[in-house]
């Protein structure tokens, strides 16, 4: 466990209790905005209950602070959006092949519900063209609006009810994350494609056609328009073009001078009024100019008894409700947030879903169809200076007055005027500049946008949106399955480590690779991460002059979670690197990752001394370790290594170890060995009772070798095989220390050190000398390493004297406790000329 210069240590404390972890995960998943923060510290049950009601019913929060000055702005905004809601309500109802009066009904009750439960101050509620057309396409497939208008209307009410239930449930369960899968690119392409087919469908009204196709794709619509060219009425076309030019001119004025927004907002109402007067005085029906027809007086009738859940139509109803509900949520919440940002405000997406759901549920009971927050109406409401959701109440009041007193007046509205209003609104939904911006910034986002645009325009609306969402999900999966990894270097004159490709001036330490992983590690990307790390190492060896890589540090601050497959992958990566003489370290794992590493005992496997708080600390310790091992020989260039990307070492030559200084007094006689002689064990050796002094055994996967000092008594091949079979159950194939009963076998603990330690012996010391011809001690425990300066101790097997970082100027001693008697101190071994396995 390393410590920084300021004394901070890596936290290896026990994992948090399961309940606490579950609470934290649920909070981050469903309550990222901490909705209860505003009344958590309130004292008294009454105060908390009051704050709770204000949270779930926003009108209770802003209504007590409402004043006359606010009302003046809300009154102006409400009147302005009413003038837009009347023509749009009639137009979009006709687009959905519904009675025009249904569009006016839908601008009366839903705004009242939203004013109570909605959290946005600027959102204006109403019907939208895209959902109207989508309803006509899906419901029209099971019930013809011309042949069965009553059934069609009832199914629309039922689909609206399903939409409301779905939206409210998502809001109550705080599952707004599902709406996030409808990305901005998807919505942009969907709206653009919808605008194209809606504009083409309005050619029916422009040319005064009475029969038209119910299909929505571009080919079918254009085929219908030109196949019926003999029925075109030039009078209707002239009036439609004039109205369209007038509406576009007012939009042009608004874009040139935003203060003239009211001109564009009032233009649809002016168009309807002029169209009504024109059709009334010239008797438009006699000149091929069709009108809306009869509109009955009165406010919304109750329609709850019209809901139809017949199994014959249920699948189409549910499909319509789910698709239109998600589209309405995505559009409404996105629009509300965009205008809230302009005022440095925030809205709660989950509360918006509840508000949308409740207003659609109540709307389905009161002869309304699907409503949300349309962009055009919200923009007018915002520019008119609304202060609160009271502008929706004002609109509802004026809409009620219109339904009671003025509804029959609008029965003279020419259909060509409504078509011009719809076409003018739809032309503004085709965002050419945003699409071009996507093409420049992100080609994949542009492909997602085009999938929605072309799918809606040339196939169908539901197919288009599913294609786009499918591509977006595929992209998200690719990001997770192929996470970004990068090599880090140190920024000069700082302790910061950054991507070397982004910062070419960043410097790297020779022999040390710092890799940053930027996503969760789990079963879907663990293989990729393993292969990518091995490739980084191979590329580094190919780029360096001596091909030496000694340390790999994995920076995990961007790894938000890890599963068991990911942990096993890290273990395998460490084992493979270690087998090739490379030490692995972990840097800055997050709390969730650290908890799983502790629970799985990965921290014991890798060693706490190899987990660091910062990259700078890890690099400094690695450099210090390299300097301490400067007397260790480098890999021989002639050594060959079996290479495999996933299993780098299967078998290799057993290295020879040479000892240049005293290890323990018992082994001093081995200093007389020749320089190239392997460290060997004195005879005799007995397989029957496993009595031997010490064995140096190196286990690189499947190879093992035991050498003896007396060359006149070599171990025969068959005895070697028997020994290997007998020892096989106790050998760990990664070459770690092994001890079973009276057998003490020391393997290479890492690529840079090897130890020869304990001796098993009879209790009688004289017999020991006679039989083994070796001075030794039977140890009561494993030797320890102790610093002579700071007196810190470490277990020799858990913390060998070479691997930990030694502070400059500190010296160490080896402390051994015999089975009986007092402890004695011996110097720390100095190893040199060790032939280690070559690197990748």
Taking the domains of the chain in order of start, what are their residue ranges?
67-475, 483-628, 649-840
User: For residues 784 and 817, what is the distance between their CA atoms, to the nearest angstrom?
Assistant: 9
How much of the chain exceeds pLDDT 70, in percent? 70
User: For residues 394 and 650, what is the distance between their CA atoms, to the nearest angstrom?
Assistant: 79
Mean pLDDT of 12-18: 73
- What confidence score (pLDDT) does residue 314 get? 93
> Could you give the residue ranges of the DSSP H alpha helices within 96-148?
100-105, 109-117, 129-139
Class of 483-628 in CATH: alpha beta
User: For residues 617 and 587, what is the distance between their CA atoms, to the nearest angstrom?
Assistant: 9
Q: What is the pLDDT of residues 156-204, one digit of tens each?
A: 999 999 999 999 999 888 877 777 777 888 888 988 898 898 888 888 8
Q: Residue 473: which region, alpha, beta or left (left: phi > 0; alpha: psi -120 to 50)?
A: alpha
Q: What number of residues does the chain have?
A: 840
- pTM over 0.75, yes/no: no
Mean pLDDT of 83-91: 89
- What confidence score (pLDDT) does residue 627 get? 65
Please determine, for residue 832, whether its predicted confidence score (pLDDT) is greater than 60: no
Helix (H) or strand (E) holding 658: strand 658-659
DSSP, res 834: -
Asked which of 32-41, 350-359, 665-674 is least confident by mean pLDDT, the reply is 665-674
Highest mean pLDDT among 16-25, 693-702, 715-724: 16-25
DSSP, res 827: E
- What confidence score (pLDDT) does residue 747 get? 29
Q: What is the pLDDT of residues 428-465, one digit of tens each?
A: 888 888 999 999 998 999 999 999 999 989 988 888 88
Quick one: how many helices (H) and strands (E) in the chain?
29, 15
Q: Please identify which residue in the block is written with the tokens 């409504």.
A: 418
- What confidence score (pLDDT) does residue 533 get? 92
Please determine, for residue 290, whether its predicted confidence score (pLDDT) is greater than 90: no
Mean pLDDT of 583-590: 91
Q: Which residues contact 14 (CB under 8 A, 6 or more apart)?
A: 598
User: For residues 598 and 15, what is the distance between their CA atoms, to the nearest angstrom?
Assistant: 7
**Over the chain, what is the mean pLDDT?**
74
Mean pLDDT of 385-402: 93
Q: Is 332 within 8 Å of 356 (Cβ atoms)?
A: yes
Asked which of 227-236, 250-259, 699-708 is least confident by mean pLDDT, the reply is 699-708
Mean pLDDT of 247-260: 87
Please determine, for residue 527, whether its predicted confidence score (pLDDT) is greater than 80: yes
User: For residues 779 and 816, what is the distance between their CA atoms, to the nearest angstrom?
Assistant: 7
Between residues 293 and 328, which one has the greater pLDDT? 328
pLDDT band with cut points at 50, 70 and 90 for residue 640: very low
pLDDT band with cut points at 50, 70 and 90 for residue 769: very low
Q: Is 268 within 8 Å of 214 (Cβ atoms)?
A: no
Mean pLDDT of 799-821: 42
């Amino acid at each position: 466990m390393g410590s920084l210069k300021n004394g901070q240590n890596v936290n290896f404390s026990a994992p948090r209790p399961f309940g606490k972890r579950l609470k934290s995960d649920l909070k981050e998943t469903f309550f990222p905005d901490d909705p209860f923060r505003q009344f958590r510290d309130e004292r008294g049950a009454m105060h908390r209950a009051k704050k709770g009601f204000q949270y779930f019913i926003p009108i209770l929060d802003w209504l007590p602070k409402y004043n006359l000055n606010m009302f003046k702005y809300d009154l102006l905004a409400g009147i302005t959006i009413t003038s837009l809601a009347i023509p749009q309500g009639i137009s979009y109802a006709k687009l959905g092949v519904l009675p025009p009066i249904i569009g006016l009904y839908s601008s009366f009750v839903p705004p009242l519900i939203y004013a109570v439960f909605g959290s946005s101050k600027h959102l204006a509620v109403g019907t939208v063209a895209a959902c109207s057309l989508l309803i006509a396409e899906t419901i029209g497939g099971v019930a013809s609006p011309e042949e069965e208008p009553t059934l069609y209307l009832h199914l629309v009410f039922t689909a609206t009810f399903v939409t409301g239930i779905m939206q409210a449930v998502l809001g109550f369960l705080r599952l707004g994350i599902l709406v996030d899968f409808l990305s901005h690119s998807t919505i942009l392409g969907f709206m653009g494609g919808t605008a194209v087919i809606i504009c083409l469908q309005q050619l029916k009204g422009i040319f005064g056609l009475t029969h038209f196709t119910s299909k929505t794709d571009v080919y079918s619509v254009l085929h219908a328009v030109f196949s019926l060219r003999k029925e075109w009425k030039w009078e209707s076309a002239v009036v439609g073009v004039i109205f369209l030019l007038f509406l576009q001119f007012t939009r042009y004025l608004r874009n040139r001078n935003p203060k003239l927004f009211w001109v564009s907002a009032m233009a649809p109402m002016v168009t309807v009024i002029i169209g009504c007067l024109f059709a009334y005085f010239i008797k438009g029906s006699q000149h091929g100019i069709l009108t809306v027809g009869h509109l009955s007086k009165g406010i919304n009738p109750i329609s709850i008894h019209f809901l139809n859940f017949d199994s014959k139509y249920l699948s189409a109803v549910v499909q319509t409700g789910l698709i239109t509900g998600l589209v309405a949520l995505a559009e409404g919440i996105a629009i509300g947030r965009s205008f809230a940002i302009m005022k440095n405000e925030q809205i709660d997406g989950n509360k918006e879903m509840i508000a949308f759901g409740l207003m659609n549920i109540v709307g389905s009971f009161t002869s309304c169809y699907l409503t949300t927050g349309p962009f055009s109406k919200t923009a007018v409401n915002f520019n008119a200076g609304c202060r609160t959701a009271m502008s929706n109440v004002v609109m509802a009041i004026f809409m009620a007055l219109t339904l009671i007193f003025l509804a029959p007046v609008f029965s003279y509205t020419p259909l060509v005027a409504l078509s011009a209003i719809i076409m003018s609104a739809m032309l503004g939904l085709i965002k050419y500049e945003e699409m071009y911006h996507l093409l420049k910034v992100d080609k994949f986002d542009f492909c997602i946008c085009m999938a929605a645009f072309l799918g809606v325009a040339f196939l169908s609306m539901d197919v288009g949106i599913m294609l786009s969402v499918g591509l977006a999900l595929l992209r998200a999966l690719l990001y997770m399955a192929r996470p970004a990894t990068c090599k880090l270097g140190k920024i000069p004159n700082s302790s910061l480590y950054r991507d070397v490709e982004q910062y070419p001036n960043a410097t790297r330490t020779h022999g040390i690779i710092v890799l940053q992983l930027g996503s969760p590690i789990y079963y879907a990307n663990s293989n990729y991460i393993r292969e990518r790390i091995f490739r980084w190492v191979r590329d580094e060896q190919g780029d360096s002059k001596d091909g030496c890589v000694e340390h790999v540090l994995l920076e995990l601050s961007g790894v938000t979670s890890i599963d068991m497959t990911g942990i096993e992958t890290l273990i395998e990566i460490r084992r493979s690197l270690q087998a090739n003489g490379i030490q692995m370290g972990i840097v800055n794992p997050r709390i969730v990752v650290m908890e799983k590493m502790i629970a799985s005992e990965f921290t014991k496997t890798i060693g706490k001394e190899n987990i660091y708080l910062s990259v700078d600390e890890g690099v400094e310790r690695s450099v210090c370790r390299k300097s301490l091992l400067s007397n260790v020989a480098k890999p021989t260039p002639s050594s060959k290594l079996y290479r495999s990307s996933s299993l780098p070492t299967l078998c290799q030559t057993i290295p020879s170890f040479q000892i240049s200084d005293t290890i323990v007094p018992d082994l001093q006689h081995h200093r007389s060995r020749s320089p190239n002689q392997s460290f060997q064990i004195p005879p005799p050796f007995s397989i029957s009772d496993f009595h031997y002094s010490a064995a140096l055994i190196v286990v690189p996967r499947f190879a093992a070798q035991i050498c003896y000092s007396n060359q006149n008594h070599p171990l025969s091949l068959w005895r070697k095989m028997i020994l290997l079979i007998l020892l096989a159950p106790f050998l760990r194939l990664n070459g770690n220390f092994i001890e079973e009963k009276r057998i003490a076998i020391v393997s290479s603990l890492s690529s840079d050190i090897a130890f020869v330690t304990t001796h098993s012996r009879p209790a009688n010391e004289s017999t020991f000398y006679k039989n083994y011809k070796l001075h030794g001690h039977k140890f009561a425990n494993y030797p320890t390493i102790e610093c002579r300066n700071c007196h810190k101790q470490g277990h020799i097997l858990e913390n060998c004297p070479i691997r930990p970082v030694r502070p400059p100027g500190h010296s160490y001693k080896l402390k051994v406790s015999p089975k009986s008697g007092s402890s004695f101190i011996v110097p720390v071994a100095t190893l040199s000329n060790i032939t280690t396995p070559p690197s990748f």
